[in-house]
């Protein structure tokens, strides 16, 4: 069959570049850059594509750390999303080094059969997934328009085919009070750190009345400079998650009122600033998901049953916003990290080495084969 022949050609093209793809992953892992600061990654990731004849556009659509790479001119447009931002303080503890390398590998595999399969192969370098909404910014500037299928594969402890992420909002919260000597003139101060304490107590009490699937969590990033000075400024970052954007729109005002309570109780001024537009829930393309399942299984991957180890598929992603606009899949590929899970230092350590490399290559091939399947049925 023509499809099977093309799949084997795509696999061979990936395997021919095994060392380069692993090298790219290792390079990103050793040099983590956080959201909107991924300048070295945005230069390194498309390098293999450029050498393979892709038409590469840097600073894509005006975003300094985004890129776009294109190969072929077929009627079916397959997009691979490359994430490469790291977590503050934790490096690549979500494995975006593997995401980028897998997407590049899948694109190189598809490029080998693009003419026969009738494909245009595109890679989108998408910054700032870990808070910042790089894909949302790209969408609003016209990216992904007309794409027939957008894909990526995300590292996790175990394999899970279907992404079911929460919708999420990201907010910067800050209080402004008035400093004073904490011992000599405490009555002259307005304590911004206390405002956060009140707000967090209110959020904790609110959780009893929230839907079981809701998540409210955050960190105080600054709450004073000296123990003998009442804190004049306090700031933090807060996420609110819900099953859908519609549910999030109902839930978020209730959480914001908890922050307002902190301001009211202490006399501080409150400022809330969105870090990005909300991330949407994911809408999986069922046909492509079925193809991915079959392709991953053919490579010897085994999908985990529902349970503790498989819960990474509930993590929020701005790929959800892409899935609301074009057909998309976002499967998770296991790197055998248990008991370590995403966003732990121990997970970052698992994102290099033999099992991570196997996941990188399997992910690239499974995505490439799924692209061939989409071309065959279009």
- Are 334 and 356 in contact by the 8 Å Cβ rule? The answer is no
Position 1 scores a pLDDT of 63
DSSP string covering 236-303, please? Answer: EEEEEEESSHHHHHHHHHHHHHHHHHHHHHHT-EEEEEESSSPBPPP---HHHHHHHHHHHHHTT--B
DSSP string covering 151-187, please? Answer: E--EEESSBB----PPEEEEEEEEEE-B--BTTTSGG
- Are 157 and 355 in contact by the 8 Å Cβ rule? The answer is no
Judge whether 2-165+280-377 and 170-274 match in fold. Answer: no
Position 311 scores a pLDDT of 79
Q: Which two tokens stand for residue 136?
A: 């949302």
167-176 sheet: strands from edge to edge: 215-222, 233-242, 167-176, 269-274
Query: CA gyration radius for the chain?
Result: 23
Assign domain 2-165+280-377 one CATH number from 3.30.565.10, 3.40.630.10, 2.60.40.10, 2.40.50.140. Answer: 3.40.630.10
Which residue bears the tokens 């904790």?
204
Question: Does domain 170-274 sit in CATH 3.40.50.2300?
Answer: no
Q: Kindly report, residue by residue over 208-267, the tens digit of the pLDDT.
A: 999 988 999 999 999 999 999 999 999 999 999 999 999 999 999 999 999 999 999 999
Q: Kindly report, residue by residue over 286-324, the tens digit of the pLDDT.
A: 999 999 999 999 999 999 988 766 778 888 999 999 999
Collect all residues with Cβ–Cβ distance below 8 Å to 287 and sequence separation of at least 6: 374, 377
SS3 per residue for 49-89: HHHCCCEEEECHHHCCCCEEEEECCCCEEEEEEECCCCECC
Q: Is residue 335 pLDDT above 80, yes or no?
A: yes
Question: CA torsion sign, 296 to 300 to 304 to 309?
Answer: negative
Mean pLDDT of 2-28: 96
Mean pLDDT of 358-373: 98
Q: Report d(CA 341, CA 355) in Å as an integer.
A: 15
Mean pLDDT of 100-125: 97
For the chain, the structural domain boundaries read 2-165+280-377, 170-274
């Amino acid at each position: 069959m023509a499809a099977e022949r093309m799949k084997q050609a795509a696999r061979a093209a990936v395997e021919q570049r095994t060392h380069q793809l692993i090298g790219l992953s290792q390079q990103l892992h050793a040099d983590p850059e956080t959201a909107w600061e991924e300048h070295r990654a945005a230069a390194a990731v498309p390098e293999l594509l450029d050498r393979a004849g892709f038409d590469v556009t840097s600073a894509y659509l005006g975003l300094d750390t985004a890129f776009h790479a294109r190969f072929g001119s077929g009627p079916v447009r397959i997009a691979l999303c490359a994430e490469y931002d790291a977590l503050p303080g934790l490096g690549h503890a979500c494995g975006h080094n593997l995401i980028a390398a897998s997407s590049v590998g899948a694109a190189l595999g598809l490029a080998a059969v693009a003419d026969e399969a009738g494909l245009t192969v595109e890679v989108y370098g998408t910054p700032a997934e870990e808070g910042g909404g790089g894909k949302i910014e790209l969408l609003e500037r016209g990216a992904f328009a007309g794409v027939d299928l957008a894909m990526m594969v995300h590292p996790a402890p175990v394999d899970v085919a279907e992404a079911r992420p929460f919708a999420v909002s990201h907010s910067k919260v800050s209080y402004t009070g008035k400093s004073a000597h904490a011992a000599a003139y405490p009555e002259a101060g307005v304590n911004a750190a206390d405002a956060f304490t009140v707000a967090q107590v209110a959020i904790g009490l609110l959780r009893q009345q929230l839907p079981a699937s809701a998540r409210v969590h955050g960190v105080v990033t600054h709450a004073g400079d000296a123990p003998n000075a009442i804190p004049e400024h306090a700031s933090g970052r807060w996420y609110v998650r819900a099953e859908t954007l519609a549910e999030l729109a109902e839930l978020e005002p209730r959480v914001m009122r908890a922050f307002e309570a902190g301001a009211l109780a202490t006399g501080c001024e409150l400022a809330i600033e969105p870090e990005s537009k909300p991330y949407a829930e994911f809408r999986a393309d069922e046909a492509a998901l079925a193809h991915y399942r079959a392709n991953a299984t053919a490579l010897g991957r085994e999908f985990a049953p529902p349970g503790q180890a498989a819960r990474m598929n509930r993590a929020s992603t701005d790929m959800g916003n892409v899935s609301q606009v074009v057909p998309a899949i976002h499967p998770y590929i296991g790197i055998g990290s248990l008991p370590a899970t995403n966003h732990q230092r121990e997970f970052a350590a698992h994102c290099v080495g033999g099992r991570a490399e196997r996941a990188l290559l399997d992910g690239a091939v499974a995505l490439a084969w799924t692209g061939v399947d989409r071309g065959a049925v279009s």
